[in-house]
Every structure is written in C-alpha cells, then in structure tokens.
Amino acid sequence: MLLVFFLILNSLFSSSQAILKTVVSSSSNDANVKKQSDLETYIVLLKKPEAAVFTESKDLDSWYQSFLPVNTFSYDQPRLMHSYHHVVTGFAAKLTPEEVKDMEKKDGFVSARPRRMVPLHTTHTPRFLGLQQNLGFWNYSNYGKGVIIGLIDSGITPDHPSFSGEGMPPPPAKWKGKCEFNGTLCNNKLIGARNFATDSNNTLDEFRHGTHTASTAAGSPVQGASYFAQVNGTAIGMAPLAHLAMYKVSGRASQAGESEILAAMDAAIEDGVDVLSLSLGIGSVLSMMM
C-alpha cells in the first residue's frame, strides 16, 4: 500500500514539473518573440577615424562590430546583416531604436535610418526619369524623330516587338545603308543591319546583347511588357521615334575584333548614322597601353 502511495506521489510530482517547464518555456518563447519583433534593419553610416588603416576586410568588419550592442545573447538571429567595403563606410544591422540611440554617442557615427523597400522599375525607367508621353520633357522633344542611331554590337532580333515599324516615319533621305536580312525584316524602325563579325554569316543576335541595347536606345512602345510576370508596364526606349541600324561585330565567340569594330564604324559614318552606340570594353587604359 505504501509503495502504491509513493508511485502516485512521484507521478503527481513529475506532472507538476512538466507543467511548470511548459509554462516557463512558453513565457520564455513569448518574450523572445517580442524581442525579435522589436528588431528592425537599419543602415548605419560611419566616418573612418583619420588615423585608422584597415589593411584587410576583416579589420573593417571588426571596427563595424564595435558599434553593435554587447549584450545580444537574448536574440537568436545574427545582428550584423551586411558589411559595406566600397560603396559606403558602414553596415546594415538588426537593431532596436534604443540601441540606435546608444550608437549615436560613439565616435565615428554619422547616421542611421531604417531600411526602405524599393519597388522594381525595370519597365518603368522612362517614367522614373520623368519621361511620359505628352507630359514633361518628352512633351517638349520630338522623341528622337529623324535621328539615326547606329549600334555596334552582337546583332539584333528583327521581329522583336520593340522594333516594330508601326507609326514610324520613313528614314531621312541621307540614309545610304542597307539591310542584310532576307525578306522584309527591316522597316522604318530597323532601317539597317550589316554583319562584320568574322565568326558569323548573318546579322541575327546570338546573345541578345545587341537586342537589349537597341531597345534601350530607341525601342518602340510595348504595352504589357514584364519579366516573368513581374514589373508589368510599358517597355520603351529613350528615343522611341529614332531609327536603328545594327552593325554586328560579335558572333558565336561573344567577342569583337578591333579591326571589325573600326570597319563597322567606318561603314556607319558612310551610311549616314547620327549617333553611334558601343557597349563594348577592352579593359583599362593601362592594359591598352601595354
């Protein structure tokens, strides 16, 4: 009988302990959740000490760490989110408003502000620049009408909607170029296409680089453009009424020879191009001189 009593007492004591642990654990979790919710990502800008020399990235990171609160053990997530080494002197960290106030007292502190979320503007670049049809600067311009833009690039995709000739005036009388596409792929927008690449026998764009640069410069308006159903809007070039002429200098190797580039430039001048666009690079000035 006594044994049964002790077994019952032990069972009750164990149950009480389990309930107590559950209550304590729940309270602790609630407090931790509250602490986590107090945290916000701040961008902190600093001024380097004049005598400081940070020879390695880790030295700069250590200096950044010195601005963070010491007692961070009560938070599960990392506090330092990003260390900036080039664009600005500073870092991004998860902080409370009180911690930011304490940080303001430290030497080298410049400013701190909560992170803002920035919407995508891929197809809204003209609007972002204040360029809207019948409004703003565009309203006082002629949208590039009568201008011939020559692009020295990787070719072009002629049936892309950005190169539609609908609503485009004919090219100026000075235009003497030619279109090497078969059929009627050239129009009043894409008025010329020539190939100078040694590793290609056509003017088609094999890498979509030239198609991208051409549409950025003078693409016709394309309603309902998106990137995988994101950033829906109207895709339009900076000079939508300008004419385009592509001079392909890069083929399958995705590289262009200097001699072909010069030949394309020479032809573009002869054809009557007004503006030449080259999104090409051959390294630094120093490497060119070596």
Verify that 42 and 132 share a domain, yes or no: no
Do 98 and 35 meet the contact criterion of CB atoms below 8 Å apart?
Answer: no
**Is 155 part of a structural domain of the chain?**
yes
Q: Write down the pLDDT at residue 289.
A: 44
Give the total number of structural domains in the chain: 2
Largest CA distance in the chain: 116
Q: Pick from 93, 117, 141: which residue ends a domain?
A: 117
Q: Is 198 exposed, middle or buried (0-12, 13-18, 19+ CB in 10 A)?
A: middle
**Is 12 part of a structural domain of the chain?**
no
Q: Write down the pLDDT at residue 252.
A: 74
**Is 3 part of a structural domain of the chain?**
no
Verify that 132 and 216 share a domain, yes or no: yes
Do 247 and 196 meet the contact criterion of CB atoms below 8 Å apart?
Answer: yes
**Is 261 part of a structural domain of the chain?**
yes
**Is 196 part of a structural domain of the chain?**
yes
Verify that 135 and 51 share a domain, yes or no: no
Q: Domain of 215? A: 122-281
Verify that 145 and 270 share a domain, yes or no: yes
CA terminus-to-terminus distance, the chain = 101
**Rounded Cα gap, residues 108 and 89, in angstroms:** 10
Verify that 204 and 63 share a domain, yes or no: no
Verify that 101 and 220 share a domain, yes or no: no
Verify that 86 and 139 share a domain, yes or no: no
pLDDT tens digits in sequence order for the chain, 290 residues long: 444 444 444 554 455 455 445 444 554 454 444 456 689 989 899 998 776 677 677 888 899 999 998 865 556 678 888 888 877 888 989 999 999 999 999 999 999 988 876 554 445 566 666 676 666 677 778 889 999 999 999 899 999 999 999 999 999 999 999 999 976 799 999 999 999 888 888 999 988 889 989 999 999 988 878 776 666 777 888 899 999 999 998 887 777 778 788 888 889 998 999 999 988 766 554 444 44
